Structure 1
Amino acid sequence: MSQRHEAARPTRPRLEPLPEEQWDPRTRELLAAAPHDPEGGIPNIFTTLVRHPDLYEQFMPFGGQLLGAGRLPGDVRELLILRTARNTGSRYEWGRHLPLARAAGVTEADIDRIGEGPEAPGWTDLRRHLIRAADELHREATLSDTTWESLAEHFDEAELIEIAMLVGQYHMVAFFLNATGVELEPGVDSTGFAEGRVGT
């Protein structure tokens, strides 16, 4: 299964980021509000997705709600996103979220064991349940009763909804990134990412 996955992965971008000289006034306005890197550049995900400006315009508020205004603690959110990045084989998603995970308090030890899955030694019970939730959603498109009940001991109804929606959102983002071949920007750290999916 992982061999088929790797064979389908583009070796170069199928869609290049839209060059600035091709930005029309609407594109310029849309990208002005996009998150910028510290050096002022706009990440490739946005300059590629903006090739579909109507979709971009609707996507950004939803993604922003989950990423910047969601109810989940930052470390929980980023742990779920990083496991999803590993499950979907998305180096771009992994690399862009590593610094966010570190800033949110995900430890280097936890980052190192993300690829090992929920049975890796060293997880707290809660983080083990979160990794298992990401895996179950990836494989089965649902959560087992055991995982749901374990998470319900720590999260309220809205947060449980958000866990499922967050993992689904970052699957969708990974599908876009992988299918179009969006490349990680030079200098962005993707340490710890292993090629291929871990959740088969």
Structure 2
Amino acid sequence: MSRRAKSVVPVEGGRALRQDESFFSEGTIMDASQDYLQPPGGWLMTQTERLPAPPPARRGVLFRSVSGVARWFGRQELPRVFPVFNINRRLFWPWLLFASQMMPFGRLPAPLREMLILRTGWLCRSRYEWGQHVEIALRVGVTHEQIVALATAPHSLPEPATAVALQACEELCQQQLISETTWQTLSEYFKPRELVEIILLVGHYQMVAGLLINSGVQLEPSIENALDAFNQRAEALAGNPRESLS
């Protein structure tokens, strides 16, 4: 069944958002229900922007140095999660150092790292985490087909090391404990230090997803456009292109 394109519609009278809508930018909302790929139950979204990012003048002098972080992501603009996290400056700087040791300076192959982050974001139902890392994953070599498989059939991915890492990710997200069978297979492909990194990577992005979902932070316009382009491509791959692509 073909879906209509997503639309940005005006907020009327400051009304609360529906469950499938989200704050997009001042005076507008994004109807995220039109995403072609969504987790079961849809994305988790707040009805208001609960923790708005402080304006630049209130972010602190040191925070200006973080603008260079955008280059780590190959971006011209700083992801909105950073000024939101910086609301608590005491936690922001230690978190930034810790997070950077896994992404982008981790030791796992970048495509595997991004697939694990995407699967975590999907299972946590965080649209921001998913959207940000769809764009990053494509840039480090993950294919459109692989990303679609992460959402629809992760066990169908043919590379054994990737498949078992994703199985471990799913077990961590769902029950915290990696099963003995999965652990034995995982240990055949990854060294102990890599196993530690996999567990911490998944756990870290579960934590970040919690902040993203509950703060109400929304994708930057450029990433929103990139996600929409990906959804169109995914729909076309499924043989169900939108009318605008036909």
Do the two structures share a fold, i.e. TM-score over 0.5?
yes
- Stretch moving more, 128-137 or 99-108: 99-108
How far residue 169 of structure 1 moved from its aligned partner, in angstroms, is 0.5
SS in 2 for 1:68: coil
* 8 Å contact from structure 1 (residues 34, 46) kept in 2: no
In structure 1, list runs of 5 or more residues that go unmatched: 193-200
Among 213, 220, 232, which residue is 1:178 paired with?
213
Q: Unaligned stretches of 5+ in structure 2?
A: 1-39, 232-246
| Deviation digits for residues 6-55 of structure 1 (CA, Å, limit 9, x no counterpart) | 4xx303311111111323324334x3453257663221100111111111
TM-score, normalising length: structure 1 = 0.84
Mark the structure with the bigger radius of gyration. Answer: 2
Instruction: Decide whether the 8 Å contact of 2:43 with 2:126 is kept in 1.
Output: no
How far 1:181 moved relative to its partner? 0.7
Aligned counterpart, 2:152: 116
Q: Which residue of 2 aligns with 1:152?
A: 187
Corresponding residue pairs, total: 188
Q: Which residue of 1 aligns with 2:87?
A: 51
Instruction: Determine which of 64, 89, 97 is the counterpart of 1:28.
Output: 64
2-side partners of 1:153 and 1:38: how far apart?
34
Residue 86 of structure 1: how far off its partner (Å): 0.3
1:44 is aligned with what amino acid? R
TM-score, with structure 2 as normaliser: 0.69
Q: 1:111 to 1:34 in 2, by over 3 A?
A: same
Q: 1:10 to 1:160 in 2, by over 3 A?
A: same
Distance 1:136 1:39 in 2: 32
- RCO greater where, 1 or 2, for CA within 8 Å and sep 6 or more? 1
2:113 is the counterpart of 1:77: yes
Task: Write the letter of the residue equivalent to 1:49.
Answer: F
**Aligned-pair identity (%):** 32
Higher helix share: 1
Q: Does 1:94 align with 2:130?
A: yes
15-24 or 92-101: bigger deviation: 15-24
Letter in 1 for 2:124: T
d(CA) in 1 for partners of 2:148 and 2:111? 15
Q: RMSD between aligned alpha carbons?
A: 2.3
Quick check: which one's strand share is greater? Answer: 2
Moved over 4 A (4+): 2-6, 36-39
